[in-house]
């Protein structure tokens, strides 16, 4: 499949949504009977049909399970390198302006509310670096606040960014309770060391984040971080009771980041 596939997929989604919206606005604004006739048949919706790759991985609800017993700083570093290389994530030296899709944070910073339960009895865990990235929430606040639907949720649960539509208002960054989003404070291109021509680079002024490697999933591949995680990352359908991730969740105690906020994060950490 060509690298354009992901673009086409977005495009077909947009065209449908755009069509509905524009028609809605026109109806709302003009309320004309003639317009109703023009718009009612709905053939335009089928004008551009997207044909999925038969190899594409499918799920009702994608999610990730991370085994904190296996994962370590070396694995995280490899995940970062792999993810950032294939997605053309720039390496910006100024920490305040950096872009990151996946990175490591201390357990106690990621789970500040778990202080009582773990830090006193397990200081090793509290000071362990664990991987963090977009939680692909089932109830994503970023999607709720975006004024242009530049960030949206796919039917399979992946929270996506349309970098061509984003106006750079950064409301999503304020809304995300996990700090998962980065903004291009400058042109990122000079900071991309090893360009991947198969994947687009961004312009200054837009927000970006982890997209669960949709471009790989849609070709039948696992997300890049999973492949290099030495078995510490597990990706699968959380809605399927037979899937590997669900089976794994049954075996061990798991926690998620700030579930009390009602965002329903889809990244699980196995303790």
261 binds other proteins (CB under 8 A): yes
Q: Say how far apart CA 246 and CA 153 lie, in whole Å.
A: 22
182 binds other proteins (CB under 8 A): yes
Q: Of the two residues 182 and 232, which places its CB atom closer to other proteins in the complex? A: 182
> Of 258, 240, 262, 257, which is closest to residue 249 (Cα–Cα)?
240
201 binds other proteins (CB under 8 A): no
58 binds other proteins (CB under 8 A): no
186 binds other proteins (CB under 8 A): yes
190 binds other proteins (CB under 8 A): no
118 binds other proteins (CB under 8 A): no
Residues in 11-50 that interact with other proteins by CB under 8 A:
17-18, 21-22, 24-25
114 binds other proteins (CB under 8 A): no
Q: Of the two residues 175 and 246, which places its CB atom closer to other proteins in the complex? A: 175
Question: x/- binding map, residues 83-112, to other proteins, per CB under 8 A?
Answer: -----------x-xxxx-----x---xx-x
Which residues sit opposite 67 in a β-bridge? 270
How many residues belong to the site for other proteins (CB under 8 A)? 53
Q: How far is the CB of 121 from other proteins (least distance, A)?
A: 20
Q: Of the two residues 3 and 112, which places its CB atom closer to other proteins in the complex? A: 112
Do residues 67 and 88 touch, judged by C-beta distance below 8 A? no
Cβ contacts of residue 21 below 8 Å, gap of 6+?
A: none
**Binding positions for other proteins, rule: CB under 8 A:** 17-18, 21-22, 24-25, 94, 96-99, 105, 109-110, 112-113, 141, 144-150, 165-171, 173-179, 182-187, 203-207, 258, 261-263
């Amino acid at each position: 499949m060509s690298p354009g596939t992901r673009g086409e997929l977005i495009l077909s989604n947009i065209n449908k949504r755009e069509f509905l919206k524009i028609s809605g606005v026109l109806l709302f604004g003009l309320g004309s009977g003639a317009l109703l006739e023009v718009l009612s048949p709905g053939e335009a919706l089928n004008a551009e049909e997207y044909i999925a790759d038969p190899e594409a991985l499918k799920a009702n609800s994608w999610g990730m399970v991370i085994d904190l017993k296996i994962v370590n700083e070396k694995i995280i570093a490899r995940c970062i390198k792999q993810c950032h290389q294939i997605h053309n994530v720039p390496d910006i030296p100024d920490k305040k302006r950096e872009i990151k899709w996946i990175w490591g944070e201390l357990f106690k910073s990621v789970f500040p509310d778990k202080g009582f339960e773990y830090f006193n009895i397990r200081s090793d865990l509290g000071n362990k670096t664990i991987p963090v990235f977009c939680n692909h929430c089932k109830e994503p606040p970023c999607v709720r606040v975006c004024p242009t639907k530049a960030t949206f949720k796919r039917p399979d649960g992946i929270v996506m960014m349309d970098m061509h539509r984003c106006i750079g208002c950064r409301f999503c960054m304020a809304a995300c309770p996990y700090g998962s989003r980065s903004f291009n404070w400058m042109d990122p291109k000079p900071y991309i060391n090893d360009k991947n021509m198969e994947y687009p680079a961004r312009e200054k002024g837009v927000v970006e984040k982890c997209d669960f490697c949709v471009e790989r999933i849609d070709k039948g591949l696992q997300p890049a971080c999973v492949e290099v995680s030495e078995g510490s990352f597990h990706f699968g359908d959380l809605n399927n009771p037979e899937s590997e991730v669900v089976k794994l969740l049954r075996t061990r105690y798991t926690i998620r980041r700030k579930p009390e906020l009602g965002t329903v994060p889809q990244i699980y950490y196995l303790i």
